[in-house]
Structure 1
Amino acid sequence: MGGVNLNGRKFVMVSSTASTVNRDSPTEFLYWEEDGVVWGSYTGDTVTFGRFVGTRDDDVVSISYAHALKAGGKAGGRSSSRVETGDDGLLRLVEEFTFDGDDTPHVSVCAEVQTGVRTGGA
């Protein structure tokens, strides 16, 4: 894993093939990680609130997720994300996902937001 931990990191969605990303209020994700298990929450854009849980092996994060939609209803599915480190030292998550009941593959990109919230940081 190159010593990079997702614990306490915040990401915002910057692109998605499933929907147009609201640049003023993108979906925000908060990740936690311990001993290869990842979990977290997300909200914003079309999502009222969402939760995810899964595992991490090296630079691949595999999760199941569920969220409530601002338009009403709910959605859920599974995804696999590749963790990348940018030249600025911030992380990107390149995610391939499908929704339950729809096997159409989608891709999204989330970029880390520097927050200073991470545990173990200076």
Structure 2
Amino acid sequence: MLPSLDGLTFAPTGRAETGEVDTATRFGYREQDGRIWASYRGGEIVHGHLVGTRVGDTLEFRYVQLNQAGETSSGRCVSELSRLADGRLRLDETWAWESREGSGTSAVEEILPARRETRTTY
């Protein structure tokens, strides 16, 4: 099993045809004892939440979000966690809206924290 998602930030690799999340959206994940949750925002999304469970490297959750047009939407998702060649984590997602028509696949990848540059003064 791959490591916990707790405290990690993820960003989409693109925008799905019937989705609203795009590369400007950021997901902040939390995880404890097989439970996962996240808040997300950015791009078309004003505010979003997801909540669900993790068994091994599979996540199952429901999501709800508010977009820039003031519309709320909800759906369900199953995601498979993997590790990229550079060591970051990736979630490959299969999702479906519950509040409207549409479904799709997408992926989010871990964003590593920016390194602080140190300057030496001589």
Could you tell me which runs of 5 or more consecutive residues in structure 1 were left unpaired when the two chains were aligned.
Answer: 117-122
The superposition leaves residues 35-59 of structure 1 with CA deviations (integer Å, 9 ceiling, x where unpaired) of: 1000110001110001111000111
**Higher normalized strand content (fraction of residues):** 1
Among candidates 103, 108, 111, match of residue 110 of structure 1: 108
Instruction: Find the aligned partners of 2:20 and 2:64 in 1 and give their Cα distance.
Output: 19
SS of aligned partner of 1:48: strand
Higher relative contact order structure (alpha carbons within 8 Å, sequence separation ≥ 6): 1
Instruction: Find the aligned partners of 1:48 and 1:10 in 2 and give their Cα distance.
Output: 17
The superposition leaves residues 54-111 of structure 1 with CA deviations (integer Å, 9 ceiling, x where unpaired) of: 0001111111110101112111110011101001110011111011144533111111
Instruction: Find the aligned partners of 1:22 and 1:68 in 2 and give their Cα distance.
Output: 14
Question: Do the aligned partners of 2:21 and 2:45 also contact (CA within 8 Å) in 1?
Answer: no
Shift of 1:115: 1.9
Alignment of 1:92-103 (within 5 A): 92-102=90-100
Shift of 1:20: 7.5
Instruction: Find the aligned partners of 1:102 and 1:29 in 2 and give their Cα distance.
Output: 22
RMSD, matched Cα = 1.8
SS of aligned partner of 1:15: coil
Question: Do the aligned partners of 1:29 and 1:40 also contact (CA within 8 Å) in 2?
Answer: yes
Aligned residue pairs, count: 113
Question: Do the aligned partners of 1:46 and 1:70 also contact (CA within 8 Å) in 2?
Answer: yes
Identity across matched positions, percent: 31
* Pair 1:52 & 2:61 matched: no
**Structure 1 stretches of at least 4 aligned residues deviating more than 6 Å after TM superposition:** none
TM-score by length of 2: 0.84
Rg: which structure is higher? 2
TM-score by length of 1: 0.84
Shift of 1:29: 0.3
Amino acid aligned to 1:10: T
Question: Do the aligned partners of 2:39 and 2:47 also contact (CA within 8 Å) in 1?
Answer: yes
